[in-house]
Amino acid sequence: MTSPPPLTNLRVLEFAGLAPGPFAGKLLADYGASVLRIDRPSSSASSDLLASRKRSLRVDLKSAPGISLILLLAQRSDILIDPFRPGVLEKLGLGPSVLLAANPRLIYARMAGFRRSGRYAAMAGHDINYIAVSGALAMLGRKDGTPYAPANILGDFAGGGMVCFVGVLLALLHRAATGMGQVVEANMVDGSAYLASFPRFAMLNPAAGRGGWTKGRGENLLDGGVPWYDTYRTRDGGFMAAGPLEPHFYATFLSLLLPAHTSKSIPDRDDRANWPVLKALFTETFLQKDRAEWERIFDGSDACVTPVKTYQELREEGFEHAPVVTLKESPALPAGEEAWTGAALAPGQGGREALQEWFMLEEGRHWMDVEEGATLVVGKAKL
């Protein structure tokens, strides 16, 4: 018999924002936390599909009663996620100094793009800009090509939302030991730079890195620079991914890809001058069979070759997405179909129930819902 998810009974205020903030909130919700998204009163729809198990409350943050309601909720919350540019919540009177004074146990997580100080602090940006100034983007792309951003996975989600989630977990550990909350500072520049630690270390320490990242973009061991760590098109337009780095895996790869060749007839991969020849040989060979045929050849082997599958294929095959990490004794809540489709949340949806169930606030007695959004009933709820 398993226990409830580890974050059960934690209450989270998530100010509505773009991908990284909602992703951090989704991770918290997946592991049991109760998440209330704070939306603007003018919001009638939301494109956020990271809203699994969340509820929403419309609040006018430009009104005193709206600010008072947030202050009350923050006093009764465990975690707050601030996705705005530096200074936005501070100008509203909802900065860390105010909310931590009202609730010393609060974990105030601030999710920014650029660092909060320095050259870019006051500038707008998106994922591509954050990973650009982190140094990570310069490593990504083919030789002689421009740097290429991998969608917004590296900055928004890995270096942003996931890193923020880790910071919140660390702050929860600290609070368990001390009873005190704190400010968690996360930004996508530092997050993505940290994720690029391995190639950076290899680049600056060639001997320790075994030559893995000593050349320019697209010319190294793990960035498509070598023929045995790359993707190849198949006859039917599919792709296979090949990564037999170790000699014994490479030997298995060659024996299955090129069974008619002898080891002496294949150019030595340790001679860089042979790489274009090997690349052409592998490219031509993979084009001779459909992807399914190559799958049958390589499946079950140690050649380190797998098909490049699309999400449409995986869904048709009945692939089930697991949580980001499996806890055997206190697992995450099941995702089900939402793992494929995401979950939308209309502004205001579930907010009334959340205030009643999570914060014990009764509509009409403690708060009321007006055209401008939810507001505190002045004098009826203790601040």
Q: What confidence score (pLDDT) does residue 285 get?
A: 98
* pLDDT level of residue 208 (50, 70, 90 thresholds): low
Over pLDDT 70: what percentage of the chain? 96
In one-letter notation, the amino acid at residue 206 is: P
pLDDT at 202 > cutoff 90 = no
Over pLDDT 90: what percentage of the chain? 78
Tokens of 251: 């030997």
**How many structural domains compose the chain?**
2
Q: What confidence score (pLDDT) does residue 382 get?
A: 45
Q: What confidence score (pLDDT) does residue 210 get?
A: 58
Query: How far, in whole angstroms, is CA 24 from its chain's centroid?
Result: 8
Average pLDDT score over residue span 59-68: 92
Tokens of 299: 């499946």
Whether 28 contacts 65, CB under 8 Å: no
Average pLDDT score over residue span 192-196: 96
CATH label of the domain that carries residue 276: 3.30.1540.10
* pLDDT level of residue 46 (50, 70, 90 thresholds): confident
* Residue 306, helix vs strand vs coil: strand
Q: How far apart are CA 124 and CA 154, in angstroms?
A: 18
| Statement to judge: residues 89 and 228 lie in one domain | no
Instruction: Write down how long the chain is.
Output: 383
Q: What confidence score (pLDDT) does residue 136 get?
A: 95
| Statement to judge: residues 166 and 37 lie in one domain | yes
| Statement to judge: residues 50 and 104 lie in one domain | yes
Q: How far apart are CA 345 and CA 334, in angstroms?
A: 18
Q: Answer whether residue 383 is part of any domain.
A: no
* pLDDT level of residue 378 (50, 70, 90 thresholds): low
208-214-217-221 Cα dihedral, nearest 10 degrees: -60
What pLDDT, in 10s, does the model give residues 30-39? 999 999 999 9
| Statement to judge: residues 158 and 270 lie in one domain | no
Which of the listed residues 307, 340, 358 is the one where a domain comes to its end? 307
Nearest to 215 by CA among 206, 134, 79: 206
Q: What confidence score (pLDDT) does residue 186 get?
A: 97
| Statement to judge: residues 26 and 102 lie in one domain | yes
Start-to-end Cα distance in the chain: 41
Q: Answer whether residue 212 is part of any domain.
A: no
pLDDT at 207 > cutoff 80 = no
Q: What confidence score (pLDDT) does residue 383 get?
A: 39
Whether 30 contacts 51, CB under 8 Å: no
| Statement to judge: residues 187 and 332 lie in one domain | yes
* Neighbour tally for 23: CB within 10 Å: 22
Instruction: Please give the residue range of the domain that contains residue 244.
Output: 218-233+239-307
Q: Which of 46-55, 102-111, 258-267, 317-326 has the highest mean pLDDT?
A: 102-111
- 230-233/79-82 β-pairing: unpaired
Whether 225 contacts 218, CB under 8 Å: yes
Average pLDDT score over residue span 233-241: 98
| Statement to judge: residues 339 and 283 lie in one domain | no
Q: What confidence score (pLDDT) does residue 43 get?
A: 65
pLDDT at 197 > cutoff 80 = yes
Least confident interval from 53-67, 142-156, 202-216, 233-247 = 202-216
Q: Which residues of 87-110 are buried (b: 16+ CB within 10 A; e: fewer)?
A: eebeeeebbbebbbeebeebbbbb
Q: What confidence score (pLDDT) does residue 290 get?
A: 98
CATH label of the domain that carries residue 22: 3.40.50.10540
HSE-CB at 100 with a 13 A cutoff on CA atoms is 14
Whether 201 contacts 211, CB under 8 Å: no
Whether 29 contacts 53, CB under 8 Å: yes
Q: What confidence score (pLDDT) does residue 211 get?
A: 57
Tokens 């931590």 belong to residue: 100
Q: What confidence score (pLDDT) does residue 206 get?
A: 72
Q: What confidence score (pLDDT) does residue 299 get?
A: 97
| Statement to judge: residues 298 and 329 lie in one domain | no
Sheet containing 239-242: order of strands: 230-233, 239-242, 305-307
Report, as residue numbers or ranges, the catalytic residues.
Answer: 156
Mean pLDDT of the chain: 92
- 230-233/305-307 β-pairing: unpaired
Least confident interval from 21-25, 296-300, 319-323, 373-377 = 373-377
Beta-strand (E) ranges in the chain? 11-15, 34-39, 55-58, 79-82, 107-112, 182-187, 230-233, 239-242, 305-307, 367-370, 373-376
Tokens of 95: 């900065």
Q: Which residues of 163-190 are buried (b: 16+ CB within 10 A; e: fewer)?
A: bbbebbbebbeebeeeeebbbbbbbbbb
* Neighbour tally for 58: CB within 10 Å: 25
